[in-house]
Amino acid sequence: MNLRPLLTLILVLALPVALSAKKESDKEEKTPRNPIVVKLTDGTTLAGELTAGWYRFPSKTINENFKMRPTGGEEIEITSEQVDSIIFPDTGTRFTAADIPVPSLRNKNNVEHWIVECGPKSEHAEILSYKTRALVTYGTFQRWEDCATRCVRFGDEKEIYPFEYDRNGGFNLNVMKKMLNDRHPGLIDYMKRYFKENKKLKKELNEHPEHFLEAYEKFLTEQK
């Protein structure tokens, strides 16, 4: 029995399927797996694929640099000093870079320039957040976990100030009090009193940091 005609027919039928699979594969290779749009401080805008994020372990630094592959180009590294804004088109999530007080044993006034996530805004302030590693206590044992810290930027100030430490202290204004240097007289005492009187809002600060913005706007109104 001559099987050649049958084999030829099978190959002819299979060819379109193979070509279609190749086209899909090529399409997947051309489509960024983690699309990102970065605007640099010099005004340059880069669109492409994020290849190594700024929050990663193990790493010598966190929130200070990342790698991306611009469309049609080679992989490059970008530092926080170069970042004006970052957008993930798939989710609409936005990031920027800001000065953050990160006290250390060697330098209690240490300030880092980190990449931070943009959050809610009010008329006179905005919420920004970053992740870090913290030793979290659970009863009789501890473990290192990724934790978010909520910060606030007042107006167009360069610095941002932490006020809520997820699973690592909760609501705490100590750093803010030290760094503000009397630029906002009466604010710290007002915030402590406000959230002492509104304990439910205080418990919700990590998930709803906009409560801090609401309190700040009330503070400004009462100062008039």
pTM score, two decimals? 0.82
Cα within 13 Å of Cα(201), Cβ side: 15
Contacts of 132 (CB under 8 A, 6+ apart): 62, 63, 146, 147, 149
Q: Is residue 45 part of a domain?
A: yes
Using pLDDT thresholds of 50, 70 and 90, give the confidence band for residue 28: very low
Instruction: Tell me what the pLDDT averaged over the chain comes to.
Output: 87
Q: Is the pLDDT of residue 43 over 50?
A: yes
Q: Are residues 48 and 143 in the same domain?
A: no
Q: Which range has the worst mean pLDDT, 53-62, 150-159, 161-170?
A: 53-62
Q: What is the mean pLDDT of residues 211-221?
A: 97
Q: Are residues 87 and 151 in the same domain?
A: no
CA 133/CA 78 separation, integer angstroms: 22
% the chain with pLDDT above 70: 86
pLDDT at 26: 47
pLDDT at 4: 56
Contacts of 3 (CB under 8 A, 6+ apart): none
pLDDT at 58: 73
Q: What is the DSSP string of 62-104?
A: SSSEEEEEETTS--EEEEGGGEEEEEETTTTEEEEEEEEE---
pLDDT at 155: 94
pLDDT at 194: 97
Q: For residue 163, with 0-12 CB atoms within 10 Å meaning exposed, 13-18 middle and 19 or more buried, which class applies?
A: buried
Range among 23-37, 143-157, 167-181 rated most confident: 143-157
% the chain with pLDDT above 90: 65
- Structural domains counted in the chain: 2
Provide the sign of the torsion angle of the four alpha carbons 152, 97, 58, 175, taken in this order.
negative
Query: Could you tell me the CATH number of the domain that includes residue 87?
Result: 2.30.30.100
Q: Are residues 221 and 139 in the same domain?
A: yes
Identify which of 71, 64, 66 has the alpha carbon closest to the alpha carbon of residue 49. Answer: 71
pLDDT at 31: 65
Using pLDDT thresholds of 50, 70 and 90, give the confidence band for residue 199: very high
Q: How many CB atoms lie within 10 A of CB 47?
A: 15
State the DSSP code for 159: B
What the block records as the tokens of 97 is 């870079």
pLDDT at 215: 98
What the block records as the tokens of 188 is 């710290």
Q: What is the mean pLDDT of residues 18-37?
A: 62
Q: Is residue 169 part of a domain?
A: yes
Q: Are residues 157 and 222 in the same domain?
A: yes
Domain range for 159: 118-224
Q: Is the pLDDT of residue 52 over 60?
A: yes
**pLDDT tens track for 182-198:** 789 999 999 999 999 99
Q: For residue 88, with 0-12 CB atoms within 10 Å meaning exposed, 13-18 middle and 19 or more buried, which class applies?
A: middle
Q: Is residue 83 part of a domain?
A: yes
